[in-house]
Amino acid sequence: MAKEVLSSEAKKEILDESEISLVLDTYDDIFSDFDPRHFSTRALSQDFLLEAKRASRDKDGGIELRFLIPVGERNVMHESLIKQRLKEHFVKHNLNLLNDIRNFRKKAGLLIAVGACLGLIDVGLVNFINMSDLAKSAVEIILQPASWFNIWVGIEHLMFLPDNMAEEEKFYRKMAHAHISFAPY
């Protein structure tokens, strides 16, 4: 098969058209070198994921992820499997991160509830139980800071996700909805 070679102007036009363009030598560039399985189950390359994260960082809305592959290397069957594998990967990781965020927020709610309970126990023990002044002071010294600490940490967790968790979720959400295509160069 004769190789069709695109001019540098045509390559530049393709790169400008898509939001994220990655040049591949072969389809294997998308996948881990250490995983010999078929494209439909193979692990994605960490280099590819890092480059995709970097390239998508300042993109909003619908993203087009275009892979540029040499004309002689193109295989439509492989491309279909790769698109499916990428979508599965991005959707799976997005759902996992959403679940992690939900669990993180549940723990935040639990911290707030524990803090509130400790505060109520403090008030109950100090005001309604007959104790010496020393015992009341000891209970207040232990329970009040614990109560406030749990409440404030819980509120902080509700309001602010860890940066890495929020960034990862944003990346996988974008990529789960990205349009993936292949083009020759």
Binning the chain into helix, strand and coil, the percentages to the nearest 5 are 65, 10, 25
Q: How large is the C-alpha radius of gyration of the chain?
A: 27
16-48 burial: b if 16+ Cβ within 10 Å, else e = eebbbbbebeebebbbeeeeeeebeebebbeeb
Q: What is the pTM of this model?
A: 0.75
**Over the stretch 117-138, which tens digit does the pLDDT of each residue have?**
999 999 999 888 888 999 999 9
In this model, does residue 7 exceed pLDDT 90? no
**Over the stretch 28-65, which tens digit does the pLDDT of each residue have?**
999 998 988 888 889 999 999 999 999 888 887 778 99
Percentage with pLDDT > 70 across the chain = 90
Task: List all residues 6 or more positions away from 66 whose beta carbon is below 8 Å from its beta carbon.
Answer: 14, 17, 18, 20, 21, 22, 180, 181, 182, 183
**How many helices (H) and strands (E) are present in the chain, helices listed first?**
5, 3
* Res 3: pLDDT: 42
Annotated domain spans of the chain: 8-94+177-184, 97-166
Which amino acid type is present at position 134? L
Q: How many CA atoms lie within 13 A of 123 on its CB side?
A: 6
C-alpha span between 161 and 103 (Å, rounded): 11
Q: How far is CA 162 from CA 105, 157, 166, in A?
A: 11, 8, 6
98-109 burial: b if 16+ Cβ within 10 Å, else e = eeebeeeeeebe
Whether the Cβ atoms of residue 56 and residue 175 lie closer than 8 Å to each other: yes
